[in-house]
Amino acid sequence: MEPFRFHLFVCTQQKPEGVTSCPASGSFAVLEALDREIQAGTLKGNAQLTTCGCMGLCDEGPVLVVYPEGVYYRRLKPSDVAEIVHSHLEHGKPVDRIVWKDAAAMKAMSAEHEEKYRAMVAARDRAGTLPDHLDQMIRAYWPSRCLLTALELDIFTAVGDGGNAQQIGTKVRASARGVSMLLDALVSLGLLSKSGGNYKNTPESARFFTQGSKDNHRNGLLHIANIWHNWSTLTDAVRRGAHVAADRGRDPETTRDFIAAMQRNSKDRAPLVVKALGTTGVKRVLDLGGGSGAYSIAWAKASPEVQCEILDVPEVVSLTTEYVRQAGVSGQVKVGAGDMLEGDLGSGYDLIMLNAICHMFSPEQNRAIFRRAHKALAPKGRLVVQDFILNPDKTGPQHAALFSLNMLVNTEAGASYSEPEYVEWIKASGFTEVSRIELPGPSALIVGVR
């Protein structure tokens, strides 16, 4: 069978809690075990592992189908997987004790399931029941809020190598009652495990959410917890057409979380942006609102010829300077304090970058920045806007459309903008060629050449 010798389908159809399904019977653990076993053995590259939807065989799950033979396995456990890979895939002998051979029974079960399913859909429709996807959307913030509170309290660090609710509550200075409810909810979300009243971090939680781990993302993620408060004012902000949240100010901790969040977003992306733009002819770069300096750092690392200047607000400058120092490029990246909305931007730059900047400002403010950037660029110099760019009718992509509301509640006059808007503003500022560069991920580049 081309292009693979085997194609394996594992059912991972999610169903509402309490309804029999392959995931509820453990199909994700089977999937992981299969992946591990295939990657480790001789079948790597010859066996394609794919998840699939319900086949109506849910009572016998987890179900795996192996093609080209069309062999069905049922009631699988991760401990069966090594035998299937070794005996069936490597030596052509299906594992008889778990192969489901009764095709007639399978067909009958599948048909009965389909009939019941269709009857259930019709009954819910007649009764005017809210569809599951809407019900889920309306509650989608529950798990999110639960994790944000755990991060705010630094629960995962307090869990450490394990402890009971009382011990963890004492460490985070919160009530035993509240903490034990939160801990149990975190277990239900798969972020902790619990055994006999003792809670432990999962490997993922320990890696990404605890102090001392080199991959700890907590500070950057706290930015999302910080802006949550403003999102709670969305209804009034929509009524007013502008943000209504009291200015929570930028205390040093909030600023640290915000810049850590920028670093999280930008550090892996920046080298891709530099590669997409190319270093040819780039010697002087101005990075407006450089944040953690991720983009200037990427330019400096891409070419020893490039000198970058970052302009950011005074309260951010010391954080930026530290990120630049840690990256070992202080000789090529200078950090200055200032307001990009005011004053002269200088002259003779080959490239001016506005990464995740324009959405903070109004159309008029962006036009003014573009005009001043045009003046500050050398002939043939490039203005680069990176942002979440809306389709012309502004209804998508979804991230850009939702981000626009993020700006409604968090800024004076910011929004996501569409490509036609950017093109018009850039051309009106004197740039001749304007083009768009697609990148993987939620943002794209719009480049104007002077």
Ligand X SMILES: C[S@@+](CC[C@H](N)C(=O)[O-])C[C@H]1O[C@@H](n2cnc3c(N)ncnc32)[C@H](O)[C@@H]1O
Query: Which lies closer to ligand FES via its Cβ, residue 76 or residue 179?
Result: 76
* Closest distance of CB 325 from ligand FES, Å: 53
Enter the tokens of residue 208. Answer: 């990404």
Query: Which of the listed partners (ligand FES, ligand X, none) does 11 bind, with a CB threshold of 5 to 8 Å by partner kind?
Result: ligand FES
Taking Cα atoms as reference points, which of 409, 363, 361 lies closest to residue 237? Answer: 409
Q: Within its chain, how far is the Cα of 8 from the centroid?
A: 28
Q: Which of residues 21-50 bind ligand FES (CB under 6 A)?
A: 21-22
The answer to whether 61 contacts ligand FES (rule: CB under 6 A) is: yes
Which listed option, ligand FES, ligand X, none, makes contact with residue 448 (CB within 5 to 8 Å by class)?
A: none
CB of 28 to ligand FES, least distance (A): 12
183 belongs to the binding site for ligand FES (CB under 6 A): no
Cα–Cα dist 90/46, whole Å = 11
Residue 76 to residue 97: CA distance in whole angstroms: 11
Classify strands 47-52 and 6-11 as parallel, antiparallel or unpaired. parallel
Binding piece for ligand X, criterion CB under 6 A, among 45-53, 107-115, 259-267, 394-402: 259-267
CB-wise, 118 or 145, nearer to ligand FES? 118
Describe the crossing of helices 141-153 and 176-188 by its angle, rounded to 10 degrees.
130
Smallest distance from ligand FES to CB 136, Å: 17
CB of 289 to ligand FES, least distance (A): 48
Which of the choices ligand X, ligand FES, none does residue 150 contact, using the CB cut-off of 5 to 8 A by kind? none
Residue 415 interacting partner from ligand X, ligand FES, none (CB closer than 5 to 8 Å by kind)? none
- Which range in 52-60, 76-84, 194-202, 210-218 contacts ligand FES by CB under 6 A? 52-60
Cα separation, 117 vs 128, in Å, equals: 16
- Of positions 61, 163, 289, 448, contacts ligand X by CB under 6 A: 289
Q: How far is the CB of 288 from ligand X (least distance, A)?
A: 6
57 binds, among ligand FES, ligand X, none (CB under 5 to 8 A by kind): ligand FES
Please work out the total of residues on this chain that contact ligand X, with binding judged by CB under 6 A: 19
Return the amino acid letter for 14. Answer: Q
- Scan residues 291-310 and list those touching ligand X (CB under 6 A): 291-292, 294
Distance CA 116, CA 194 (A): 36
Which structure tokens are listed for 441?
């991920």
Our measurement of the distance from residue 290's CA atom to the centroid of its chain's CA atoms, rounded to an integer in Å, reads: 21
Nearer to ligand FES, 52 or 423 (CB): 52
Give me the least distance between CB of 114 and ligand FES, in Å please. Answer: 10
Backbone φ, ψ for residue 11 (5° rounding): -75, 125
Min separation Cβ 340 and ligand X, Å: 4
**Is residue 122 classed exposed, middle or buried when 0-12, 13-18 and 19+ CB atoms within 10 A define those classes?**
exposed
Residue 54 sits in the site that holds ligand FES (CB under 6 A): yes
CA–CA dist 8, 52 (Å, integer): 10
Taking alpha carbons only, the member of 111, 26, 107 closest to residue 72 is 107
Listed ranges 35-43, 57-65, 193-201, 329-337: which one lies at the site for ligand FES (CB under 6 A):
57-65
Rounded to a whole number of angstroms, the minimum distance from the CB of residue 276 to ligand X is: 15
Instruction: Tell me which of ligand X, ligand FES, none is bound by residue 266, counting a contact when its beta carbon lies within the kind-specific cut-off of 5 to 8 angstroms.
Output: ligand X
Q: Segment contacting ligand FES (CB under 6 A): 51-59, 124-132, 184-192, 270-278?
A: 51-59
Look at residue 205 and give the partner it binds from ligand FES, ligand X, none, a contact being a CB closer than 5 to 8 Å depending on partner kind: none
> Based on CB atoms, which residue is closest to ligand FES, 113 or 194?
113
Binding site for ligand X (CB under 6 A): 262, 265-266, 289-292, 294, 311-313, 316, 339-341, 355-357, 360
